Structure 1
Amino acid sequence: MAESAASRAPAGPVLPERMRAARLDARGRVEIAEMPVPRPGPGEALVRLRACGICSSDLLDWYVAGKARGGPFVFGHEPAGEIVAFGPGTQPPPGLEVGSRVFVHHHAPCMACAACRRGDYVHCPVWRRPGLIPGGMAEYAVVAPQVLQHDTLPLPEGAGWEVGVLVEPVACAVHALRRAGFEPGWRVAVIGAGFMGQALGLVARAWGAAERAVVDRLPGRLAWAARRWATLVIDTGDEGRPGAVAGGAGGGPGMEPAATADGHAGERAAGNRGGGTPAGTGRAGTGPGAVAAATGGGGGGRATPVPWLRPGPGADAQAVARMLEDRWGEGADLVLVTPAGEEPLRLGIACARPGGTVVMFAPTAPGCDPAIPGYDVFFREIRLVPSYSAGPGDTRDALALLAAGQVPAAELVTHRYPLADVATAYRQVKDPAALKVMVEL
């Protein structure tokens, strides 16, 4: 008797019934919960997530409280994993199949509406719909049809999960430079040297920025930037000095300097795995004075001295701006402001040249409206450009930069934790020793 087509069809994957996921409540408390493994519907895919980064937005009180109005929610939107199943009738895009190792965006546009035709993908109504269910900090997640078709990307062969984890945040940096109208040869200043400040500086370098200044008060983060991408360091780190800039989430104290063989201060290595056990130790001079910085892409190349400047006592935003002008002849063509709030934004405006561009990279809380120096902005014709999230073109450019090593994923992921220690990982993000914290699922 002839075998039927149905009996010849390969059996689908055997999926578990339950999975673990990390949830946040309205007070920012993290818990591990068990929940059913979701099943993909028509047009969808199921991904076994293997790693997810923690974004600093997951620490914002107003953001978490808004997301948790309906109860604890699965957080995380920087995931990577492997496709394990497709829903009924799903036609995956070329290059994706069961077993593909992928980056998955948590949002994607329809590619057909008026916003998409303008290239304003983050304003597409479909983009606003959840694209990763229940979220990135879970062992399994369903990928919505628009995300599967337009922003699920196969990872390069041999790439670690950290490459996939960093696609979304690096894409946000790509989007910011694109929104600013960046051109090769520009002089760029980055305010704040947390993870996103480092990503912005690395992308600016890869795209041909002629000069790249970093402004922060944390010596370890400044040293990291000086070694990888910065050509000028402005250290505002004297605690209590007017005009000091808070860099990174929380604006906490800097990394504890450690003495090196040549007598300079050096940063403690931030590479931790599971429970905070150091994975290695590295040191670099943090000034004041010159710092040896790599000039090749991704941290390699010839070492050259990077000027390390400190404003004097009582210095304000204008003093920092004068340092740029003294070095470059005028202010920055582009200033990328990563901390939220009025003080960093005013500093960014002061550091821009006449006719320059200032990117507001981080949101303020609802109802918090920073005052800007309107007279100065008007007569110096400063362009203020907000930059929110990223679209499909940005993620592809980000993956290319990561694959080429121009954005060194393994170095930027400074701490790794298993899902069982996700609460510790969440707290680690607030530590100035951390750049990107990744949870392995």
Structure 2
Amino acid sequence: MNISIVRDFIKDCTRYTSLAIFLLYLSIFYLFGGLFEMIGIPINLTIISVLGIIVYVVNFNSKIGNIEIYYIILLFIIIVSAIKNYSSLFDVVVFSRALVSSFIVFFVARLIVSNKKYRKYILYTFLFIGCLQLPVLIIQRLFHPFLRSFSAVPISDVDIVFGTFIVKNDPSMSIFLIGLILILMYKKIDMSYWLQNLILFVLTLSVFLGNSQILNISLIIIWIYFFYIKYDFGKLKNVIFIIVIFLTIIGSYQFIFKIPFVADKIERISYYFNPNSFDQIDLSSFQEGGYSRLAAIYYYSNQPFKLIGDGPSRYYNPVSNEEYKVGNKGHIFTFYAEVGFLGLLLSYIIVYKIIAFKSWNKHFILSYFFAAFMLSLTTNFFTDPTIMFSISLISSLNITEPMIVFYGEKENNLLFNFRMG
């Protein structure tokens, strides 16, 4: 048999296997997973993500990159924490699922985007999925009583807005949309000026229609940061523009608070900036598994410093009857409690390295990492393959293309055609 024919056959199988797994992720994570769950088809995100190990095996390369090294160091810290705290092998395996699933989805994302001909189509597909969220979110907010009665899985009023994503997984939707917003902010896109800005508006509105208050706050800060670096506030027209927007917001204040959804969102966001919120902490409820991030901050700030933690799966075990032993549902609290400061630090380094993967635009990197960090206060994002896949794939879309418009170039990539200040 001709060796070249065998080589070409293996190459085609490898290419199509990678594409098949990518399309599986795309359909389950972003388009039909929530619908499947609502009609009674169970979805296990960890199992689906680990299917990507097939892609890793057929594309195995003995060369180890920086991100792989950080994953190995994190695994070493987990093992040391387990030995020190006499954790069982089962606990280590359960905890390590986060490493396996997050690495596999990162590997698939990097592999798919490494083919230049796919990048443009992936980006346009993602923008279409992003714009699709707005009408779906509006339907979910308007018809949530019917949708809740129709759903095969219980959904509260708070969790009903998740777009086309997995049920109750609006944080995944929001971090996905924020990534697209940042691309539109800092990347030159091959589309008309007005269409790009319309999409930007739709994506921003979709994030605020979601229920992730921490990412709502993050997006506000991201926009403020963007205006700060983008516009020359020494120019009179820019100052007038900002004043007009500010006066418009102030003038519509009373009208806004007459909209129940908006009033409720503003009240829930302002809760985190109210000093009296710390007077309402129920520490005993938190220690029994009740969810309170303010109680988590108070609890861990009064605990001895944890260098390698109290052992993997000590406080959070998704396969046990008692899933939470304390209410530490955020990544920052879970990782710190179980594998300590060193494990937590390594996890953030991994996320930062994934976001900064061959992307030289510091504004995109800092803004997206900031959003991911804020999300870690409320969500175990390292164990959610949909979130890690979004971060990996969107960040990888910026491998080689420049992402900012400099002086002397026609600036048609974003909002009002003002030059960088």
Whether the TM-score (by the shorter chain) exceeds 0.5 is no
The structure with the greater share of residues assigned to strand is 1
Query: Which range, TM-score by smaller chain?
Result: under 0.3
TM-score w.r.t. length of structure 2:
0.28
Structure with the higher fraction of residues in helix conformation? 2
